[in-house]
């Protein structure tokens, strides 16, 4: 949970025994999701893990040992992750330097303090079009 209690992160149920690793609004009765690591590949509820690996990456691993999602912060000195009051999940090294940020990998929600740079890609869709495939976002 973020220090101010506005955001939580963890396994978020999307179907029977199917979970994503997500960040959501804690104070919302609907627990609205703001960011998801593995939107297109939910994991099994039993035996899946979200943990640092020996290579330095923070990874979501399904029950069968398959890495479903990773920060790709390999060969770094990653030591911990922090969920900030802004809703940004940051992987940090021992000195408190950010190695990876969820704000740099936006999904379908932008948060108030999330920076928009010239390299940030935005897309819109036609009314009635449901974006369900990763290719729909490019």
- pTM (predicted TM-score): 0.80
Residues, the chain, total? 138
Q: What are the chain's domains? A: 7-137 (2.90.10)
- % residues pLDDT > 90 (the chain): 53
pLDDT digits (tens, 9 = 90+) for 28-50: 898 999 999 988 889 998 999 99
Q: How far apart are CA 3 and CA 12, in angstroms?
A: 20
- Buried residues in 105-121 as b, exposed as e (16+ CB within 10 A): ebeeeebeebeeeeeee
pLDDT for the residue numbered 65: 93
pLDDT digits (tens, 9 = 90+) for 117-138: 777 666 555 555 555 555 555 4
Q: Copy the structure tokens of residue 2.
A: 């973020």
The alpha carbon torsion through 43, 44, 47, 53 (nearest 10 deg) reads -10
pLDDT for the residue numbered 38: 87
Q: How far apart are CA 23 and CA 89, in angstroms?
A: 8
Which of the residue ranges 61-65, 77-81, 83-87, 111-115 would you say has the lowest mean pLDDT?
A: 111-115
The pLDDT mean for the chain works out to 85
Report residue 13's pLDDT band, with 50, 70 and 90 as the boundaries.
very high
């Amino acid at each position: 949970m973020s220090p101010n209690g506005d955001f939580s992160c963890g396994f978020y149920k999307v179907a029977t025994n199917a979970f994503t690793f997500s960040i959501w609004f804690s104070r919302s009765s609907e627990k609205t999701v703001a960011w998801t690591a593995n939107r297109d590949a939910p994991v099994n509820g039993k035996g899946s893990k979200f943990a640092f690996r020996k290579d330095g990456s923070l990874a979501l691993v399904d029950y069968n040992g398959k890495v479903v999602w990773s920060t790709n912060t390999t060969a770094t000195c990653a030591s911990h992750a922090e969920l900030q009051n802004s809703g940004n999940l940051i992987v940090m090294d021992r000195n408190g330097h950010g190695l990876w940020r969820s704000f740099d990998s936006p999904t379908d929600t932008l948060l108030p303090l999330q920076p928009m740079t010239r390299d940030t890609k935005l897309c819109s869709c036609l009314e009635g079009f449901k974006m369900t495939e990763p290719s729909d976002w490019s």
